[in-house]
Amino acid sequence: MNNKFDIIVIGAGVIGCNIARELSQYKLNVLVIEKDNDVCARASMANSAIVHSGYDPVPGTFKARFNVEGNRMFYDLCKRLDVECYQIGSLTIAMDDEQMKVLKDLEKRAAENKVPVKILDHDELLKEEPNVNPKAVGALLAPTAGIVDPFTFCAHNIENALDNGVKLHLNEEVKEIKDLKDHFEIKTNLGIYQSTIVINAAGHGSYKLGSQLEKLDYQITPRKGEYFVFDHYAKGLVNHTIFPLPSAKGKGILVTPTYSANYLIGPSSELSESEDHSTDPATLAMVKAGALEMVPSLPFNELIRVFAGVRATPSDHDFHIAPLKTHPKFIHLCGIESPGFVSSPAIAKYVVNELVSPLIKLEKKENYITHVRPKIETRKMSAEEKIKLIKEHPEYGEIICQCEKISKGEILDAMSRSDHPHTIKAIKKRCRAGFGKCQGGFCQPLVAKLISEYYHIPLTSVQYSKIGSNVVRYPTKGAKHD
């Protein structure tokens, strides 16, 4: 096995996947190392999935620069990568005259960041959003904001990279990094690698890895956010992403439609001592109260799940993206919290064009593949289109997930792609099988069976998510098993 690479990217969250895609257009030997069982497994999976406009970050910061640049790139990139992404705009609500003064300040900041916005009065706001609290006196409209499918965005970024020759190692955790001057030696739980350049995009683990080589002059603290998810409730509950005024803790508790016609409520924003993904009643009650203040008619009887995400908050409140001072070929990315998701394409372009290019020759590939294979999604097709498809490919007529109307054909298509999802959760993120009202209660055994059959592994080896999360421990009496 070849253990020598031009560039090793550590981490396959949204930043690492975008960097891998950006690097894949060049004649380079690139490896991505990810400690989890799939890409998009942590902060990139559990977030608000908002394409932020960029009016809020402090002008002149990396946050402001890459948020605005990323927003301008995002919608075209999603078209190229076949990712659902909708420019629905956002509204930041003011509940009294004092808050309207703050909106005026945000309007000025938006102008500095070159982000188009418009202040709406009470009547204009209620015309746009009839279900917003009628006590609201106005709002700041940011029309370039949007919503995205975060799971497919990460998966199709890495798929495009793999289709262009990048290698991906999952379930492999970097333990030690040594700078041997002419190359880096990277020791993982599975082996030792050499690389001319290392790009550290390990999310919460980035600070620890960077600190092995150099003392860092800032701190990283986990900040947890808890969310509610509503079922496919009636369209038009809210039409934009609804924000309160931002605070020192972040952008606040939002109410937004999602790309899948669900509704998302949250997050909280509490400092945590670890990467803790648990939820608790008191915090969720606070999130609920804050959301109801903005949209009093929220139907919490339509709740189908709660979850928590954790973001790495830097003590100086800006992204860190630079080579280490004493190790110029170690490109260190750290503290990329919100709006990191929308910033990711711009960050990737900056890393490759500005930081990597002075270190290694970048020669474009003649046969670079610019798009991924489009997904076939039967729930979006007309009756005539479905009939034609099923006649040619009967597997698209066998529904596996009744809640989300996901067919066997769609799951087989996901497993046939270059990033090869091997777990139930990985299939869930790519196809939405298990995202519905029953949360996998009915379809999970069918998905497990498909994974077993497709990869020719025993059903007892199929995992829900991480290693050790086997869904079937023992075969039942009389069952066929290997």
Residues 131 and 188 reside in one and the same domain: no
Residue 391 lies in a domain: yes
In total, how many domains does the chain have? 3
Q: What's the rounded Cα separation, in Å, for the pair 260 and 466?
A: 25
Q: 21 near 160, Cβ under 8 Å?
A: yes
Domain-terminating residue out of 312, 332, 361 = 312
Residues 76 and 153 reside in one and the same domain: yes
Residues 257 and 395 reside in one and the same domain: no
Q: Which two tokens stand for residue 397?
A: 């007529």
Amino acid at 128: E
478 pLDDT higher than 70: no
Active site residue 52: yes
Average pLDDT over residues 357-381: 96
Q: What's the rounded Cα separation, in Å, for the pair 461 and 473?
A: 8
Domain-terminating residue out of 374, 393, 413 = 374
Percentage of the residues of the chain whose pLDDT score is greater than 70: 98
Residues 193 and 231 reside in one and the same domain: no
Average pLDDT over residues 340-346: 98
482 pLDDT higher than 60: no
Residues 189 and 54 reside in one and the same domain: yes
- Model confidence at 188, pLDDT cuts 50, 70, 90, reads very high
Residues 246 and 346 reside in one and the same domain: no
Q: What's the rounded Cα separation, in Å, for the pair 332 and 63?
A: 16
Give the range of the structural domain holding residue 305, as residue numbers without chain letter.
85-148+220-312
Catalytic-labelled residue, pool 52, 156, 320, 332: 52
The CATH number of residue 439's host domain is 1.10.10.1100
Average pLDDT over residues 174-179: 98
- Model confidence at 250, pLDDT cuts 50, 70, 90, reads low
This prediction has a pTM of 0.96
Residue 470 lies in a domain: no
Q: What's the rounded Cα separation, in Å, for the pair 480 and 476?
A: 9
Residue 477 has a pLDDT of: 67
Model confidence pLDDT, tens digit, residues 267-313: 999 988 778 899 999 999 999 999 999 999 999 999 999 999 999 99
Residues 155 and 60 reside in one and the same domain: yes
Residues 197 and 321 reside in one and the same domain: yes
Q: What's the rounded Cα separation, in Å, for the pair 333 and 44?
A: 15
Domain-terminating residue out of 325, 343, 374 = 374
234 pLDDT higher than 90: no
Q: What's the rounded Cα separation, in Å, for the pair 360 and 343?
A: 24
The CATH number of residue 42's host domain is 3.50.50.60
Residues 349 and 369 reside in one and the same domain: yes
Q: 87 near 145, Cβ under 8 Å?
A: yes
Residues 384 and 448 reside in one and the same domain: yes
